[in-house]
Structure 1
Amino acid sequence: MNGSIIALLRYQTGLSQQEFAEKVGLSFSVLSKVEAGFLPVSKRTKVKIYKVCQIDEDFMELVKKMSLYDKLLEGN
């Protein structure tokens, strides 16, 4: 899960960075750095993000596979 995916998920919740950060247990500063790709996301934080966004790991695996598929198509 990269920062742009997290930003997209946050956007879909309709929450500001501050609100989202509070719900997942991060500071605004840390969430901002995660969304910008400067900090990685821990497994624990990913689980909290899934809960806040009401999604599960299977959904995120599908998103990951779709992203890889798109990259393969771009290469052809």
Structure 2
Amino acid sequence: MSRKIAGFLIILGVFMIFEWVNLGFNLADGHPTSFYVVHGILIVVNIVLAVVLGIIGWRGLLGSPVRGRKGDAG
């Protein structure tokens, strides 16, 4: 994975966490309970996805160099 892609995944994960936590704090009162349940599930799922993307990006950023590429001797 290139450093650009790894950096993009980390930035995307941070942005997703910020965006969904911000949405959670900005939900207005007066909606039915189902509204909050659905949005709560969306927030949790998207934060989990953001953490997974961040971990993949972090591992890609710290990853070891490619070994055993096709065509390399030994």
TM-score between the two structures when normalised by the length of structure 2: 0.34
Per chain length, whose mean CA-contact separation is higher, i.e. which structure has more relative contact order (CA < 8 Å, sep 6+)?
2
Q: Which has the larger radius of gyration?
A: 2
After TM superposition, the score normalised by the length of structure 1 is: 0.33
